[in-house]
Amino acid sequence: MKNLTQIRTFGELKAAGYKSKSIKLELRDNLIKALKSGDEVFKGILGYTNTVIPEIQRAILSRHHINLLGLRGQAKTRIARQMTALLDEYIPVIAGSEINDDPFAPLSYFGREAIALKGDDTQIEWMHRDERFVEKLATPDVTVADLIGDIDPIKAANLKISYSDERAIHFGLIPRSNRCIFVINELPDLQARIQVALFNILQEGDIQIRGFRMRLPLDLQFVFTANPEDYTNRGSIVTPLKDRIQSQIVTHYPKDISTSRTITEQEARLVKAQTDRVSVPELIRNLIEQVSFEARDSEYVDAKSGVSARLSISALENLVSTAERRAILNREVKTIARVSDLWGTISAINGKIELVYEGEQEGPVNVAQFLISQAIRSQFINYFPDPERFKRKKEENPYAKVLEWFNNNGEVDLLLEESQQSFDKKLGSVKGLDELVDLYYKKAGKEEKLLLKELVLYGLAAFSQLNRLALDNSVLFKDLFSSVFSSDDPTDDLNFN
């Protein structure tokens, strides 16, 4: 039997027994096959296994148009793009058709005329599923002509036909996307009068252009995306349109550090030279993710705007680059990421958060530093005992010797570009620090212990047991009471300590 994609005429297609089906039925049938065979339907979409993905699958089985409602950076567009994997690999279209006419049910004048004149000799082409995805960002300047179409006076003049003839129509993006998945991103940004133009396409399947109405039952799978903030701040989805979108699915951010880490590691764009030179311990990876979680709960950050997963992705890339740059400057072949390297992620954090008034008053850099400090505080108790508990209970304080050393005028100035040898020597000079780490991590390797010692200093500062001063190219740790008399840290007002 001839391979379907080798067929070139309508007659051959009919002889091969090919049966057309709607795009929604394609999606439904192929989803059923995938579910039966246990195939992964949405690859790389993490954290939605028991929430969003089942909802999408139910919508596809119900042959619904879909609205994905969620804050930025929640994989809404990626989900829509991956729906093409549920389409048939190839479908036949009448060769030269503007709107991908199905030879078994042509919609356009061109398609109907081709079948009427040539019959079984009508030429067909094969359209791959990757070509069947069309995406449009909704912006205030989008017009009905852009989406639906308009009368083309030049075409009417060339063909010597009246404007009432359908051949005079220049089809817009939606008709040209017939038999495709059509995505409109940020739907509320579309002007209300443009949203109204979608009513009949969604429900009745006809279009109106400048008073000229024609029946055009387009075969489309609509997927819309919207941000909840848009409903109140920039625009809204008009009620009749919302009523015609059968399934509205609410997306969300990862609910745990582990899932968030997996997403970040999957999406971060690191070159081999970086991964060969820089090792990023689990502790540092957890701290990066914790920054995003802290930002989503911070009083300085606009919760309605959301904190995209891109924050963690960009922060990991910046952190690796920070450690890489330090290694290059110190002529080190390999290095391990440090807690101090988190300060190199501030530029990534700044561009990913929207601040409320209080945050604007403090400044984006100070807020970013505050979020890092809060992340350290949250993660610290997963590795060492909570320093707060020793204030209330009469039990031996494991941090006592370290704190006593600082109280006796001890201080550590950790340069952000410190060489590994110097870094080790400075941390080793803190009395009681080695003993403390050995108490909880006796079997840990040398590099891991070094990282844990650094974490202890940052953690004690985050719990107001030490004073931490953020300087231009270093971080200085001193006893807490020194800050009473002098402080050069511009972030003190944010209560870092």
Q: Which domain holds residue 76?
A: 4-250
What secondary structure does DSSP assign to 374-440, as a single string?
Answer: HHHHHHHTTTS--TTHHHHS-S--TTHHHHHHHHTT--EEEETT--HHHHHHHHHTSTTHHHHHHHH
Q: How many helices (H) and strands (E) does the chain have?
A: 24, 16
- Quickly list H helices, 83-189: 109-118, 144-147, 153-159, 173-176
10 CB neighbour count, 10 Å cutoff: 23
**Is the same domain home to 45 and 193?**
yes
Question: So what's the pLDDT on residue 493?
Answer: 43
> What was the pLDDT predicted at 386?
92
- Give the model's pLDDT for residue 76: 94
Tokens representing 426 are 């400075």
**What's this model's pTM, rounded to 2 decimal places?**
0.85
Last residue of a domain, one of 250, 282, 306: 250
Domain match, 264 and 370 both: yes
117, 182: one domain = yes
Name residue 475's amino acid: V
The per-residue pLDDT for 235 is: 62
Please indicate, yes or no, whether residues 181 and 326 belong to a single structural domain of this protein. no
Q: Are the C-beta atoms of 228 and 69 separated by less than 8 Å?
A: yes
CATH number, domain of 16, equals 3.40.50.300
| One domain, residues 192 and 124 | yes
**Among 225, 250, 275, residue at a domain's last position:** 250
Residue 209 contacts residue 160 (beta carbons within 8 Å):
no
* 171 to 140, 154, 166, 178, 179: CA distances (angstroms): 20, 14, 10, 11, 15
DSSP-derived 3-state class of residue 137: strand
Residue 395: count of CB within 10 angstroms of its CB: 9
- Give the model's pLDDT for residue 159: 81
Is residue 21 located within the same domain as residue 65?
A: yes
Model pLDDT, residue 471? 84
CA distance linking residue 449 with residue 252, whole number of Å: 36
Same domain, 185 and 304: no
In a shared domain, residues 246 and 264: no
205, 224, 250 — which closes off a domain? 250
Looking at the structure, do residues 190 and 277 belong to the same domain, yes or no? no
**Residue 104 tokens, joined:** 């078994």
CA distance readout (Å), 200 to 85, 101, 192, 212: 28, 20, 15, 14
CA 460 to CA 393: how far, in whole Å? 17
By residue count, the chain amounts to 497
| Pair 321, 360 in one domain | yes
Asked whether the beta carbons of 368 and 350 are under 8 A apart, the reply is yes
* DSSP secondary structure string for all residues of 209-240: ETTEEEE-----EEEEEE-GGGGTTT----HH
353's torsion region: left (phi>0), alpha (psi -120 to 50) or beta? Answer: beta
- Between vectors from CA 153 to CA 150 and to CA 157, what angle results, nearest 5°? 145
Clarify whether residues 165 and 289 are in a common domain: no
The total number of structural domains in the chain stands at 2
Q: Identify whether residues 96 and 236 lie together within a single domain.
A: yes
**Please, what is the Cα angle at 168 between 167 and 174, to 5 degrees?**
85
Output the six-digit token pair for 209.
């252009």
Kindly give the confidence (pLDDT) of every residue in the chain, 497 residues in length, as a single tens digit, with 9 standing for 90 and above: 357 889 999 999 999 999 999 999 999 999 999 999 999 989 889 999 999 999 999 999 999 999 999 998 899 999 999 999 999 999 999 999 999 999 999 998 899 999 999 999 999 999 999 999 999 999 888 988 899 888 888 887 888 887 777 777 888 899 999 999 999 999 988 888 888 888 878 877 667 666 666 778 889 999 999 988 655 445 688 888 888 899 999 999 999 999 999 999 999 999 999 999 999 999 999 999 999 999 999 999 998 888 999 999 999 999 999 999 999 999 999 999 999 999 999 999 998 999 998 999 999 999 999 999 999 999 999 999 999 888 766 778 999 999 999 999 999 999 999 999 999 999 999 999 999 999 999 999 999 999 999 999 999 999 999 999 988 889 999 998 765 444 444 444 455 44
